[in-house]
Amino acid sequence: MPQAGERGEAIKTFPVLRDKTGYVRGYLQYLSFDIPLFFRLLFTKRPDVVLVEPPPTTGAVVRLACFLRRIPYVYDAADLWSVAATHATSSSVVLRLLAAAEKWAISGSRAIITISDGVKQRLLTWGIKKPISVTGYGADTSQFTYSQAPIRTEFVYAGTYSVLHGAVILIDAFAEFLRSDEPGVETTSYTLRFIGSGTERDNLAARAAELNIADKVHFVDSVSPKELSDIFAHTAASLATLLPGGGYEFAFATKIYSSLASGCPVIFAGPGPTREFLEATQQTVTVGTAVEYASTDIARAMTQIALNPPTPEERAALAAWSRDNVSMTETATRIADVLESVAGEQR
């Protein structure tokens, strides 16, 4: 098996349409990927098995091409787009078509892999009968590692921030934290940094301005994994949120793995399996805290981290635990087992 950073197989790519931020987003851009994919699957050397992930349009194309060539495929249900799309569009036609495409793509697979029991349970309610393996989702511990560093007075939210994430609550919470007069911590020296991108950026910035803390809230574009790991090493705590009542409570905030692997504690606000994971893991190692989706609770958690930050020893222990339990290597092994099992059925 090739080591991290080595290329074991040749990787062939094809250019697709992207927006100005580099994302593939929108029907036309998806088609710029899906149409060439269809023909490449038709004419490439026959593989033993195909692994496909969302969007559902890609899954539908793979099902059709694999049907024509009698190739089994495994569907990676990392996200359920037809559920998330209810917050992106109000068009009932679009939502019905997306749900139909997603269920059709998933139901044609030989097996399904997913990141959490929550997604598995949602698939079961859809009547999906194919085998579902919860393989999880890990951090690349070859890049996200612990390095002892001075801790800055800063909280960091890294990743996408859409309506479903509900990250705007962090602005209110941070404003409360800054106003705190808790003895022993100089809250006004802290900043809040958002790293990444999302549809809520303007709303987040507007809320920070409304609360007169715009100078304390910073937005920067995505950075490399290694650079993000270095940022986590200096960060008081990373932040993650999930909006309650949004219909996506079964989702797992996989962004927390990269933070934990870097030895950085997490403050998570919201319902679902992420909270359950943090609460259970806290009995073993210092992972941070999970709270209700409420600004006061988040502000209180920020204050507690500021007052009692994990020691370097605790951060090192957290990174070591993550390497053994939530690494991408462990996840990849579980996925490979599913793929080999499906491919073996054809021999």
Span 151-206, pLDDT tens digits:
999 999 999 898 889 999 999 999 999 998 888 888 989 999 999 988 899 999 99
Answer whether residue 16 shows pLDDT above 90: no
Using DSSP's 3-state secondary structure scheme, residue 44 falls into coil
**pLDDT tens digits, 80-119:** 877 777 666 667 777 888 889 899 999 999 999 998 888 8
- Are the CB atoms for 66 and 73 separated by under 8 Å? yes
pLDDT reported for residue 262? 96
Answer whether residue 300 shows pLDDT above 50: yes
Cα dihedral angle (276, 277, 283, 285), rounded to 10 degrees? -150
pLDDT band for position 1 (cuts 50, 70, 90): very low
**Helical axes 168-179 vs 201-210, angle rounded to 10°:** 30
Answer whether residue 225 shows pLDDT above 70: yes
CB atoms near residue 321 (< 10 Å): 18
Answer whether residue 344 shows pLDDT above 50: yes
The C-alpha atoms of residue 310 and residue 56 are separated, in whole angstroms, by 42
The C-alpha atoms of residue 327 and residue 144 are separated, in whole angstroms, by 10
How high does pLDDT run on average in the chain? Answer: 89
Q: Which residue has the tokens 């917050």?
A: 87
Tokens of 281: 């893991």
Domains (range + CATH), the chain: 27-137+328-344 (3.40.50.2000), 154-325 (3.40.50.2000)
pLDDT reported for residue 89? 66
Percent of the chain with pLDDT over 70: 93
pLDDT band for position 346 (cuts 50, 70, 90): low
Buried b (16+ CB within 10 A) or exposed e, 190-222: bbbbbbbbbebeeebeebbeebebeebbebeee
pLDDT reported for residue 18? 80
pLDDT reported for residue 88? 62
The one-letter amino acid code at 289 reads: T
pLDDT reported for residue 21? 62
Tokens of 149: 């560093």
Q: Is the peptide bond before 36 cis (omega within 30 degrees of 0)?
A: no
pLDDT band for position 49 (cuts 50, 70, 90): very high
pLDDT reported for residue 97? 86
Answer whether residue 43 shows pLDDT above 90: yes
Answer whether residue 264 shows pLDDT above 60: yes
Answer whether residue 245 shows pLDDT above 70: yes
